[in-house]
Chains A and B, each alone.
Chain A
Amino acid sequence: AQSVTQLGSHVSVSEGALVLLRCNYSSSVPPYLFWYVQYPNQGLQLLLKYTTGATLVKGINGFEAEFKKSETSFHLTKPSAHMSDAAEYFCAVSEGGTGGYQKVTFGIGTKLQVIP
Protein backbone atom coordinates (compact mmCIF):
# COMPACT_ATOMS: atom_id res chain seq x y z
CA ALA A 1 0.00 0.00 0.00
CA GLN A 2 1.14 3.52 -0.67
CA SER A 3 0.51 6.68 1.32
CA VAL A 4 1.50 10.31 1.49
CA THR A 5 1.90 12.60 4.48
CA GLN A 6 2.13 16.35 4.06
CA LEU A 7 3.35 18.08 7.18
CA GLY A 8 1.47 21.30 7.79
CA SER A 9 -1.90 22.02 6.25
CA HIS A 10 -1.09 25.75 6.23
CA VAL A 11 2.30 27.39 5.71
CA SER A 12 2.96 31.14 5.76
CA VAL A 13 6.10 32.77 4.39
CA SER A 14 7.13 36.33 3.70
CA GLU A 15 7.59 37.48 0.15
CA GLY A 16 11.21 36.76 -0.83
CA ALA A 17 11.67 34.07 1.84
CA LEU A 18 12.42 30.40 1.29
CA VAL A 19 9.46 28.14 0.62
CA LEU A 20 9.68 24.62 2.08
CA LEU A 21 6.71 22.26 1.85
CA ARG A 22 7.23 18.82 3.34
CA CYS A 23 6.12 15.49 1.94
CA ASN A 24 6.86 11.99 3.15
CA TYR A 25 5.65 8.87 1.39
CA SER A 26 5.47 5.14 1.80
CA SER A 27 5.52 2.70 -1.08
CA SER A 28 6.29 -1.01 -1.40
CA VAL A 29 7.98 -0.49 -4.78
CA PRO A 30 10.12 2.30 -6.24
CA PRO A 31 7.74 5.23 -6.37
CA TYR A 32 6.87 7.90 -8.84
CA LEU A 33 6.43 11.18 -6.96
CA PHE A 34 4.59 14.34 -7.93
CA TRP A 35 3.83 17.83 -6.76
CA TYR A 36 0.69 19.49 -8.08
CA VAL A 37 -0.44 23.08 -7.53
CA GLN A 38 -4.03 24.29 -7.32
CA TYR A 39 -4.86 27.97 -7.65
CA PRO A 40 -8.22 29.17 -6.29
CA ASN A 41 -11.21 27.85 -8.19
CA GLN A 42 -9.05 25.88 -10.60
CA GLY A 43 -8.06 22.27 -11.17
CA LEU A 44 -4.70 20.79 -10.22
CA GLN A 45 -1.74 21.22 -12.52
CA LEU A 46 1.58 19.41 -12.47
CA LEU A 47 4.44 21.32 -10.88
CA LEU A 48 7.11 18.64 -11.15
CA LYS A 49 7.61 14.89 -10.98
CA TYR A 50 10.22 12.28 -10.16
CA THR A 51 10.20 8.96 -11.98
CA THR A 52 13.78 7.67 -12.24
CA GLY A 53 17.27 9.12 -12.62
CA ALA A 54 18.36 12.44 -11.13
CA THR A 55 16.97 12.87 -7.64
CA LEU A 56 16.81 16.67 -7.81
CA VAL A 57 13.89 17.61 -9.98
CA LYS A 58 13.20 21.09 -11.29
CA GLY A 59 9.70 22.24 -12.08
CA ILE A 60 7.83 25.26 -13.26
CA ASN A 61 7.89 28.68 -11.59
CA GLY A 62 11.29 28.10 -9.92
CA PHE A 63 10.21 25.17 -7.75
CA GLU A 64 12.31 22.08 -7.20
CA ALA A 65 12.13 18.91 -5.12
CA GLU A 66 14.61 16.29 -4.07
CA PHE A 67 13.85 12.59 -3.82
CA LYS A 68 15.55 11.16 -0.73
CA LYS A 69 14.99 7.42 -0.59
CA SER A 70 16.65 6.98 2.82
CA GLU A 71 14.28 9.54 4.32
CA THR A 72 11.26 8.59 2.17
CA SER A 73 10.83 12.29 1.48
CA PHE A 74 10.10 14.53 -1.48
CA HIS A 75 10.09 18.06 -0.08
CA LEU A 76 9.24 21.01 -2.33
CA THR A 77 11.37 24.16 -2.21
CA LYS A 78 11.67 27.56 -3.83
CA PRO A 79 14.44 29.98 -2.86
CA SER A 80 12.33 33.15 -2.94
CA ALA A 81 8.56 33.25 -2.55
CA HIS A 82 6.45 35.42 -4.82
CA MET A 83 2.93 36.62 -4.16
CA SER A 84 1.75 34.56 -7.12
CA ASP A 85 2.90 31.37 -5.35
CA ALA A 86 -0.04 31.56 -2.97
CA ALA A 87 -1.98 28.37 -3.71
CA GLU A 88 -2.60 24.87 -2.42
CA TYR A 89 0.07 22.26 -3.08
CA PHE A 90 -0.49 18.52 -3.24
CA CYS A 91 2.12 15.80 -3.02
CA ALA A 92 1.25 12.50 -4.69
CA VAL A 93 2.76 9.03 -5.06
CA SER A 94 2.19 6.20 -7.47
CA GLU A 95 3.80 2.84 -7.93
CA GLY A 96 5.07 3.68 -11.35
CA GLY A 97 4.90 1.52 -14.44
CA THR A 98 4.62 2.31 -18.08
CA GLY A 99 1.06 1.18 -18.57
CA GLY A 100 -1.86 3.52 -18.98
CA TYR A 101 -3.29 3.18 -15.49
CA GLN A 102 -1.52 3.77 -12.24
CA LYS A 103 -3.07 4.25 -8.86
CA VAL A 104 -2.13 7.65 -7.51
CA THR A 105 -2.48 8.61 -3.85
CA PHE A 106 -2.68 12.29 -2.98
CA GLY A 107 -1.78 14.03 0.25
CA ILE A 108 -4.32 16.28 1.94
CA GLY A 109 -2.65 19.41 0.64
CA THR A 110 -0.73 22.38 2.06
CA LYS A 111 -2.06 25.89 1.63
CA LEU A 112 0.74 28.37 1.09
CA GLN A 113 0.18 31.95 2.15
CA VAL A 114 2.67 34.60 1.04
CA ILE A 115 2.81 37.70 3.20
CA PRO A 116 3.86 40.95 1.52
Chain B
Amino acid sequence: NAGVTQTPKFQVLKTGQSMTLQCAQDMNHNSMYWYRQDPGMGLRLIYYSASEGTTDKGEVPNGYNVSRLNKREFSLRLESAAPSQTSVYFCASSERANTQYFGPGTRLTVL
Protein backbone atom coordinates (compact mmCIF):
# COMPACT_ATOMS: atom_id res chain seq x y z
CA ASN B 1 0.00 0.00 0.00
CA ALA B 2 1.23 3.50 -0.84
CA GLY B 3 -0.71 5.04 2.09
CA VAL B 4 -1.26 8.77 1.50
CA THR B 5 0.30 10.31 -1.58
CA GLN B 6 0.56 14.00 -2.48
CA THR B 7 1.50 15.82 -5.65
CA PRO B 8 3.46 17.89 -6.35
CA LYS B 9 6.30 17.66 -3.82
CA PHE B 10 7.51 21.19 -4.52
CA GLN B 11 5.93 24.22 -6.19
CA VAL B 12 6.85 27.84 -6.73
CA LEU B 13 4.08 30.27 -7.65
CA LYS B 14 3.86 33.96 -8.34
CA THR B 15 1.37 36.06 -6.42
CA GLY B 16 -2.06 35.73 -7.98
CA GLN B 17 -1.47 32.40 -9.69
CA SER B 18 -3.68 29.43 -8.94
CA MET B 19 -2.89 25.79 -8.35
CA THR B 20 -4.37 22.57 -7.04
CA LEU B 21 -2.67 20.22 -4.61
CA GLN B 22 -3.66 16.62 -5.05
CA CYS B 23 -4.02 13.96 -2.36
CA ALA B 24 -4.99 10.32 -2.56
CA GLN B 25 -5.20 7.51 -0.02
CA ASP B 26 -5.51 3.78 -0.57
CA MET B 27 -6.51 2.77 2.97
CA ASN B 28 -10.28 3.11 2.38
CA HIS B 29 -10.51 5.79 5.06
CA ASN B 30 -13.64 7.86 5.36
CA SER B 31 -12.05 11.07 6.66
CA MET B 32 -9.44 13.24 5.00
CA TYR B 33 -7.74 16.49 6.04
CA TRP B 34 -5.58 19.32 4.78
CA TYR B 35 -3.11 21.00 7.14
CA ARG B 36 -0.50 23.66 6.76
CA GLN B 37 2.69 23.65 8.81
CA ASP B 38 4.55 26.86 9.58
CA PRO B 39 7.57 27.32 11.87
CA GLY B 40 6.55 27.78 15.51
CA MET B 41 2.86 27.24 14.77
CA GLY B 42 2.53 23.49 14.56
CA LEU B 43 -0.11 22.07 12.25
CA ARG B 44 -3.22 24.06 11.49
CA LEU B 45 -6.27 22.48 9.92
CA ILE B 46 -7.39 24.14 6.69
CA TYR B 47 -10.31 21.94 5.62
CA TYR B 48 -11.50 18.45 6.33
CA SER B 49 -13.88 15.93 4.83
CA ALA B 50 -15.52 13.69 7.41
CA SER B 51 -16.88 11.41 4.71
CA GLU B 52 -17.27 11.26 0.96
CA GLY B 53 -19.53 14.08 -0.21
CA THR B 54 -18.93 16.39 2.75
CA THR B 55 -16.38 19.10 3.41
CA ASP B 56 -16.01 21.56 6.29
CA LYS B 57 -13.83 24.49 7.21
CA GLY B 58 -11.04 24.08 9.70
CA GLU B 59 -9.04 26.66 11.60
CA VAL B 60 -7.56 28.60 8.63
CA PRO B 61 -9.76 28.17 5.52
CA ASN B 62 -9.47 31.65 3.99
CA GLY B 63 -7.94 31.64 0.53
CA TYR B 64 -8.48 27.91 -0.02
CA ASN B 65 -11.12 25.63 -1.49
CA VAL B 66 -11.36 21.85 -1.43
CA SER B 67 -13.00 19.06 -3.37
CA ARG B 68 -13.62 15.52 -2.18
CA LEU B 69 -13.57 13.94 -5.59
CA ASN B 70 -14.35 10.43 -4.34
CA LYS B 71 -13.50 8.36 -1.30
CA ARG B 72 -9.82 8.19 -2.27
CA GLU B 73 -9.08 11.74 -3.38
CA PHE B 74 -9.18 15.12 -1.67
CA SER B 75 -7.77 18.18 -3.43
CA LEU B 76 -6.86 21.64 -2.15
CA ARG B 77 -7.07 24.65 -4.45
CA LEU B 78 -5.48 28.06 -4.11
CA GLU B 79 -7.43 30.39 -6.39
CA SER B 80 -5.14 33.42 -6.10
CA ALA B 81 -1.95 32.63 -4.25
CA ALA B 82 -0.50 35.09 -1.75
CA PRO B 83 2.94 35.16 -0.08
CA SER B 84 1.21 34.35 3.25
CA GLN B 85 0.34 30.97 1.79
CA THR B 86 3.99 29.98 1.58
CA SER B 87 4.03 26.87 3.73
CA VAL B 88 4.30 23.11 3.82
CA TYR B 89 0.96 21.44 3.16
CA PHE B 90 0.08 18.00 4.48
CA CYS B 91 -2.82 15.78 3.61
CA ALA B 92 -3.96 13.14 6.09
CA SER B 93 -6.62 10.47 6.37
CA SER B 94 -8.13 8.54 9.25
CA GLU B 95 -10.59 5.86 10.17
CA ARG B 96 -10.83 4.30 13.59
CA ALA B 97 -9.30 5.41 16.88
CA ASN B 98 -8.45 8.83 15.61
CA THR B 99 -5.03 7.89 14.22
CA GLN B 100 -4.22 10.10 11.26
CA TYR B 101 -1.94 8.98 8.46
CA PHE B 102 0.00 11.72 6.74
CA GLY B 103 1.34 12.21 3.26
CA PRO B 104 4.92 13.41 2.58
CA GLY B 105 3.90 17.05 2.12
CA THR B 106 4.01 19.73 -0.57
CA ARG B 107 6.44 22.58 -0.11
CA LEU B 108 4.89 25.70 -1.62
CA THR B 109 6.61 29.04 -2.11
CA VAL B 110 4.63 32.07 -3.28
CA LEU B 111 6.76 34.93 -4.57
Contact = CB atoms under 8 A, between A and B. Distances in A.
Interface residues of A, number: 26
Contact of A51 (B30, B97, B103): B97
Interface of B: 4, 29-31, 40-43, 45, 48, 50-51, 90, 92, 94-105
Contacts of B95: 100
Interface centre among A42, A46, A104 (most CB of B within 10 A): A104
Interface centre among B45, B50, B99 (most CB of A within 10 A): B99
Contact of B42 (A34, A41, A46, A109): A109
Chain A contact residues: helix, strand, loop or mixed: loop
Contact of B102 (A9, A43, A100): A43
Interface of A: 9, 32, 34, 36, 41-46, 49, 51, 90, 94, 96-98, 100-104, 106-109
B30 A90 contact: no
Contacts of B41: 108
